[in-house]
A and B are shown apart, each in its own frame.
Chain A
Amino acid sequence: MANKINIFKHFLLLFVLLFTSLSVLAYEPQEKDYKSEATPAENHDKHEQKSDKFNAGELIIGHITDAHDWHIAGEGEHSISLPLPVILYSSQRGLSIFLSNKFEHGHKTYNGYKLEKNHIVAVDEMEQVDAHHSTVNEEVTNGLWDISITKNVLAMFVSFGLMLWMFITAAKMYKRNPGQAPKGMQGLLEPLIIFVRDDIAKSAIGEKRYHKYMPFLLTVFFFIWINNLLGLIPIIPGGANVTGNIAIGMVLAAVVFIITVVTANKHYWQHIFAMPGVPIGVLVLLTPIEIFGMFLKPFVLMIRLFANMLAGHIIALSFFSLIFIFAEMNTGLGWGVGVFSVAFTIFMGMLELLVCFLQAYVFTLLAAMYFGSAIDEGHDKHNPHDDHDHDRNF
Chain B
Amino acid sequence: MELVKPEFGLIFWMCISFGIILLILKKFAWKPILNMLHEREASIQNALDAAEKAKEEMKALQSNNEKILADARNERDQLLKDAREIREKMISEAKGIATKEGERLLTIARENIQNEKMAAITELKNQVATLSIEIAEKILKSELSSDEKQKTLVNTLLKDVNLN
Q: Residues on A close to B: CB < 8 A?
A: 61, 64-66, 87, 117-118, 145-150, 152-153, 156-157, 160, 163-164, 167-168, 170-171, 174-175, 178-179, 189-190, 193-194, 197, 214-216, 218-219, 223, 245-248, 250-252, 255, 306, 310
Q: List 7 A-B contacts (CB under 8 A).
A: A146-B8, A149-B13, A153-B9, A153-B13, A168-B29, A178-B39, A189-B33
A171 to B31 alpha-carbon distance, docked (Å): 9
Asked whether, in the complex, the Cβ of A250 is within 8 Å of the Cβ of B6, the reply is yes
Partner of B33, one of A87, A156, A164, A171: A171
| Chain B positions within 8 Å of A255 at CB level | 18
Q: Which residues of chain B come closer than 8 Å to A164, judged between CB atoms? A: 21, 24-25
- Cβ-defined partner of A247 (8 Å) among B7, B32, B34: B7
| Chain B residue at smallest Cβ distance from A217 | B30
Task: Identify whether the interface residues of A are mostly helix, strand, loop, or mixed.
Answer: helix
| B interface residues, how many (CB within 8 angstroms) | 33
Tell me whether B17 and A156 are in contact (CB under 8 A): yes
Q: Given A153-B10, A247-B11, are A174 and B32 also a contact pair (CB < 8 Å)?
A: yes
The answer on a CB contact under 8 Å between B11 and A178 is no
When distances are taken between beta carbons in the complex, the residues of chain A under 8 Å from B11 are 247, 250-251
Let me know if A247 and B6 touch, CB within 8 A: yes
| Chain A residues, CB < 8 A from B7 | 66, 146, 150, 247
| Closest residue on chain B to residue A190 by CB atoms | B37
Q: Which residues of chain A have C-beta atoms less than 8 A from B36's C-beta?
A: 174-175, 178-179
Whether the Cβ atoms of B13 and A147 lie closer than 8 Å is yes
B26 part of interface (Cβ distance < 8 Å): yes
Q: Answer whether residue B4 sits at the interface, using C-beta atoms and an 8 A cutoff.
A: yes
Q: Give the dominant DSSP class at B's interface.
A: helix
- Interface code B29-48, partner A: CB below 8 Å = 1, 0 otherwise? 11111101101100100000
Q: For the complex, what is the distance from the CA of A80 to the CA of B12, rounded to whole Å?
A: 28
Residue on B nearest A306 in the bound complex, by CB:
B4
Cβ contact within 8 Å between A157 and B17 = yes
Residues in chain B near residue A245, CB distance under 8 A: 6, 10
Quick check: B29 and A147 within 8 Å, CB to CB?
A: no
Question: How many Å lie between the Cα of A218 and that of B25 in the bound state?
Answer: 9
Q: Tell me if B14 counts as interface (CB < 8 A to partner A).
A: yes
Contact residue among B2, B6, B34, B43 (Cβ-Cβ distance under 8 Å from A65): B2
Q: Do the beta carbons of B9 and A214 come within 8 Å of each other?
A: no
Q: Does B3 contact A (CB under 8 A)?
A: yes
Q: List chain A residues, Cβ under 8 A from B9.
A: 87, 146-148, 150, 153
Q: A147-B12, A179-B43, A193-B37 are in contact. List 12 more A-B contacts (CB 8 A).
A: A146-B8, A150-B9, A153-B13, A160-B17, A164-B25, A167-B30, A171-B28, A171-B33, A174-B33, A174-B36, A215-B25, A250-B11
Name the residue of chain B whose CB is nearest to the CB of A146. Answer: B9
Q: What residues of chain B lie closer than 8 Å to A117, measured between beta carbons?
A: 2
A163 and B21: CB pair below 8 A? yes
* Min distance, Cβ A75 to any Cβ of chain B, angstroms: 21
Least Cβ–Cβ distance between A231 and chain B, in angstroms: 15
Given the interface pairs A147-B13, A156-B14, A247-B14, the reply to whether A218 lies near B30 with Cβ below 8 Å is: yes
Task: Bits for B52-85, please: 1 = Cβ < 8 Å to A, else 0.
Answer: 0000000000000000000000000000000000
Say yes or no: A179 contacts B39, CB within 8 Å. Answer: yes
- Judge whether A179 and B40 touch: CB under 8 Å: yes
| Distance of B56 from chain A, by nearest CB (Å) | 25
A214 in contact with B30 given A147-B13, A149-B13 (CB within 8 Å): yes
CA distance A315 to B9 in the complex (A): 27
Q: Given that A145-B8, A164-B24, A219-B21 are known contacts, is A170 also in contact with B29, CB under 8 Å in the complex?
A: yes
Partner of B21, one of A152, A160, A306: A160
B15: CB under 8 A from chain A? yes
Please pick, from A118, A194, A248, the residue contacting B14 in the complex, using a CB distance under 8 A.
Answer: A248
Taking a contact as CB atoms under 8 Å apart, the answer to whether B25 and A219 are in contact is yes
Chain A residues near B13: list those with CB within 8 A: 147, 149, 153, 156-157
Q: Which residues does chain B contribute within 8 Å of A145, judged by CB atoms?
A: 8
Q: Give the 4 A-B residue pairs with the shortest CB-CB distance, closest first.
A: A167-B29, A247-B6, A215-B26, A174-B36
What CA separation (Å) do A148 and B30 show in the bound complex?
Answer: 31
What chain A residues lie within 8 Å of B21 (beta carbons)? 160, 163-164, 219, 223
**Which of chain B's residues have a CB closer than 8 A to the CB of A252?**
18
Report how far A146 CA is from B11 CA in the complex, Å: 11
- Give Cα A90 to B115, complex, Å: 163
- Determine which of A65, A179, A190, A215 lies in contact with B22 in the assembled complex, contact meaning CB atoms within 8 Å: A215
B5 CB–A CB distance under 8 Å: yes
Choice from B18, B32, B39 contacting A251 with Cβ under 8 Å: B18
